[in-house]
Amino acid sequence: MPSSRRRQGRHILAIGRRGGRVRASTGYAATRILADTEHVLHSLQKRGHPFAVPPDPWWQAILDRIWLRAMTREGAEFQEAFVSLFTRAPVDSVVRFLNGHAGPSDVAAVITALPPLPFLRASLA
């Protein structure tokens, strides 16, 4: 079921940006909105309401917070993280991670490609 934030009334589900479909850390939205649309449609067809949609993975919000905190605290030095992300991690893993469709191996590939110190400091803050 969606978070209570998404439920806007008895029969209303927030979608798109208002429904949290834009990733805070990446700004990616298109593929998340398309997938969400399919889930809402399926819920309407099978259950008669739009609310039987899968929640976002719990770890996504945690990683988004760490990324944003590191980016804010590190400033210009954070450029190294972007370079590492796009040069050291497999492209397919990066794309799946950015659009919210990453599996455990994708997350591991992204994390190991990044410089650890900014993210350790951000996760402990």
Structure confidence by residue, pLDDT tens digits, 14-68: 999 999 999 888 888 888 899 999 999 999 999 999 999 999 888 988 999 999 9
- Tell me what percent of the chain is helix, strand and coil, each rounded to the nearest 5: 60, 0, 40
Per-residue confidence (pLDDT) for residue 92, from 0 to 100: 97
Query: What is the model's pLDDT at position 28?
Result: 84
What do you get for the CA distance between the two ends of the chain, in Å? 31
Domains of the chain, by residue range, sit at: 1-55, 58-124
**pLDDT of 82-120, one tens digit each?**
899 999 999 999 999 988 889 999 999 999 999 999 999
Report how far residue 65's alpha carbon sits from residue 61's, in angstroms, rounded to the nearest whole number. 6
Q: 1-5, 19-23, 41-45, 69-73: which range is least confident on average?
A: 1-5
Mean pLDDT for all residues in the chain: 91
Three-class SS state of 54: coil
Residue 1 clears pLDDT 70, i.e. is over it: no
